[in-house]
Amino acid sequence: MIPELLEIPALQAAYAQGLTPQALVNALYDRIEAYPDKAVFISLVSRAEALAAIPADTTLPLYGIPFVVKDNIDIAGIPTTAACPDFAYTPAQDALAVARLRAAGAVLLGKTNLDQFATGLNGTRSPYGAPRCVFNARYISGGSSSGSGVAVAAGLAAFSLGTDTAGSGRVPAACNNIVGLKPSIGRIPATGLVPACKSLDCVAVFANSAADAMAVLGVAEGYDPTDAYSRPPRNAVLPAAPRLGVLAPKDQDFSGDEEAAALYEAAAQQAASLGWGVTEIDYAPFREIAALLYGGAFVAERLAAVGDFYAAQTWKIFPVVRDILEGAGDFSASDAFADIHKVQALRHKAAAELAQVDALLLPTAPTIFTVEEMLAQPIAHNATLGLYTNFVNLLDLAAIALPAGFRENGLPFGVSLIGPAFSEVSLAGYADALHKALGAGAGRNRRAPQGSYTPPAPDEVTLVVAGAHLSGMVLNHELANLRARLVAATTTALDYKLYALATTPPKPGLAHMPGVAGPGIAVEVWALTPEAFGRFVAALPAPMGIGRVRLADGSVHPGFLCEAYALQSAADITAYGGWRAYLARPGTP
């Protein structure tokens, strides 16, 4: 049976129980064909090609997980249009991020609509039509990654790639009740991406949960020397209980949307109830930086990205986008440097505010507009949508948008957590906790995500345990004595087997068996200080050892593995799915 919410762990569990990727892909093509909003996709991989692309290796971390990408990201053999038919070209190879995802087993279904050349935050600037909010077709989907946001929210794909320069990977998440991860600049290579503003562009991830977004990030990230803005990933880990900066009443602007204001206040109160600090900040420097992205010389970088096409075929460009590019030509080099200097001066003021907190908790967008309202005031309303997003890339910050509730008319509202560059692991942990606490669910059916994401605390090392050290088991006191902290209960990837060893007390042996498709073994992830981890490993008796264990979400952690010689006389208990289930089998005293 296909899970009601297309979460990666739920799909992996469904595969273990008999669902096939072929059946899922066929069902999703049926959904796509039946979905009434025909503006979501610009092109589709044929059903036959998608089925043929399902990998044979069932142990791949994203095996059989269906996804879509924004049509300013290259796919070999499929035209890249950037929502401008006359600009289209057919690339010979996939964008690097897409190539990595496909190599990890993900199955591409198609390419999605966008605001032309990724110029906009609303989703109405495309000759292919305007994708609509999944909750009410009168309202915008958000942009520029409009189709990518709708596809996930509508259950047409498990995750999608968008891009984010000014908020394009976050505003569609807010408009459609899903998670939108905007990684740090360069964490995911932009190789094979049609640039909007090359120095600011980020490949973004839309998903139903923070855990899914991080699983995708873990595959897609990585340094690429051919991308001038690529940077090797690292993790800036923030405190487990953060201090969050929120808007003071004087800085709150929701364009008259009182329900959005109330939902933001409720999100801040919920954050405080989780034991997090909540501190008002002065938003003025951030607002001024945000205004400069579209209202100053920085917009000229958009013209630099498509200048040759603009000069040769200006009349082929969507009217609103053409007006923006035309205005970009009015700025001089001295104007650009003047605005760079303004941002640098404001950066110091913003840094003073950021120094008081670990991360910001802001509305993702102040309000949501109908398509009719958007078309009537395309520039002003677009600026409104970017009020709390435009500054993020100019300040080299990371961000994750999450669902935060619904208005009485059924339209969703979202908030974003924003932190230092490379703080994604911590932001995702905060987002996962807040998302669940707020209870907005995910996507059109508002189902609550079942997966979880808890990052290690600063200066902690994770450890995967599968047997006697599990919670409540006979050796769990060894972890308790080291003040270890339970991070998550989860399962391994599918290519692991479990054996019952002839030891006292009884213990299982976990073994990695590439090419074997099992159910995934129930495990726990614990976190210890490096010193405690070292003491624990030093006392570990044979045949146990510490190796690298891959979990169902694709992440890899240190964990118990058994030496091969001890498995020769051990009983294979993989079918039980875990040590607890084995011990609880019928007939066990």
Helix pair 319-328, 300-312: axis angle to 10 deg: 110
User: Which DSSP letter does residue 239 get?
Assistant: P
Q: Tell me, yes or no, whether 219 lies in a domain.
A: yes
- Residue 9 belongs to what H/E stretch? helix 8-16
Structure-model confidence comparison of residues 308 and 183, the more confident one:
183
For the segment 453-466, what is each residue's pLDDT rounded down to a tens digit?
Answer: 977 666 678 899 99
Q: 231 is written with which tokens? A: 């940077």
For the segment 408-419, what is each residue's pLDDT rounded down to a tens digit?
Answer: 999 999 999 999
Residue ranges making up the domain that contains 546 = 461-583
Answer with the one of 407, 438, 469 that is the final residue of a domain.
Answer: 438
Note whether 372 and 472 are same-domain residues.
no
Note whether 506 and 363 are same-domain residues.
no
User: Would you place residue 379 in the very low, low, confident or very high pLDDT band (cuts 50, 70, 90)?
Assistant: very high
Give me the torsion for CA of 195, 197, 201, 205, rounded to 10°.
Answer: -70
- 25: buried, middle or exposed (CB in 10 Å: 19+, 13-18, 0-12)? buried
Note whether 429 and 482 are same-domain residues.
no
* Count of structural domains, the chain: 2
In this structure, which amino acid lies at residue 196?
A: A
Q: Tell me, yes or no, whether 454 lies in a domain.
A: no
Note whether 466 and 384 are same-domain residues.
no
Note whether 16 and 104 are same-domain residues.
yes
SS3 state of residue 249: helix
Alpha helices in 461-575 (DSSP H): 476-481, 530-538
Note whether 465 and 558 are same-domain residues.
yes
Active-site residues: which are they?
70, 144, 168
- When pLDDT is averaged across residues 208-217 and rounded to a whole number, the result is 96
pLDDT at 457: 64
On average, the pLDDT of the chain sits at 93
Helix pair 284-295, 378-385: axis angle to 10 deg: 140
Distance (Å, rounded) from C-alpha 283 to C-alpha 352?
11
565 closest CA partner among 506, 509, 516, 496 = 509
Note whether 430 and 577 are same-domain residues.
no
Distance (Å, rounded) from C-alpha 189 to C-alpha 457?
27
Q: Tell me, yes or no, whether 443 lies in a domain.
A: no
pTM for the predicted model, two decimal places? 0.81
List strand residue ranges (DSSP E) for 407-543, in order.
412-420, 461-465, 485-491, 496-501, 507-512, 522-528
Cβ atoms 428, 455 nearer than 8 A:
yes
What's 486's domain CATH number?
A: 3.10.490.10
Range scoring the smallest mean pLDDT among 76-85, 344-353, 520-529: 520-529
Q: Tell me, yes or no, whether 446 lies in a domain.
A: no
Q: In what order do the strands lie in the sheet with 202-207?
A: 41-44, 107-112, 66-70, 159-164, 202-207, 179-182, 397-406, 412-420, 359-363, 243-247, 277-281
For the segment 539-576, what is each residue's pLDDT rounded down to a tens digit?
Answer: 888 888 899 899 887 778 899 898 888 888 899 999 99
For the segment 469-506, what is each residue's pLDDT rounded down to a tens digit?
Answer: 998 888 999 998 998 888 788 889 899 999 998 877 78
Note whether 402 and 471 are same-domain residues.
no
Q: 80 is written with which tokens? A: 């890249």
Which phi and psi (to 5°) does residue 128 adopt? -90, 5
Q: Tell me, yes or no, whether 456 lies in a domain.
A: no
Note whether 434 and 471 are same-domain residues.
no
Question: If you compute the radius of gyration of the chain from its CA atoms, what whole number of angstroms results?
Answer: 24
Q: Tell me, yes or no, whether 1 lies in a domain.
A: no
User: Would you place residue 244 in the very low, low, confident or very high pLDDT band (cuts 50, 70, 90)?
Assistant: very high
Note whether 434 and 466 are same-domain residues.
no
Q: Tell me, yes or no, whether 173 lies in a domain.
A: yes
- Residue 400 belongs to what H/E stretch? strand 397-406
- When pLDDT is averaged across residues 366-372 and rounded to a whole number, the result is 98
207 pLDDT exceeds 80?
yes
Q: Around Cβ 441, how many Cβ atoms within 10 Å?
A: 20
Cβ atoms 40, 156 nearer than 8 A:
yes
457 closest CA partner among 555, 530, 538, 560 = 530
Distance (Å, rounded) from C-alpha 202 to C-alpha 180?
12
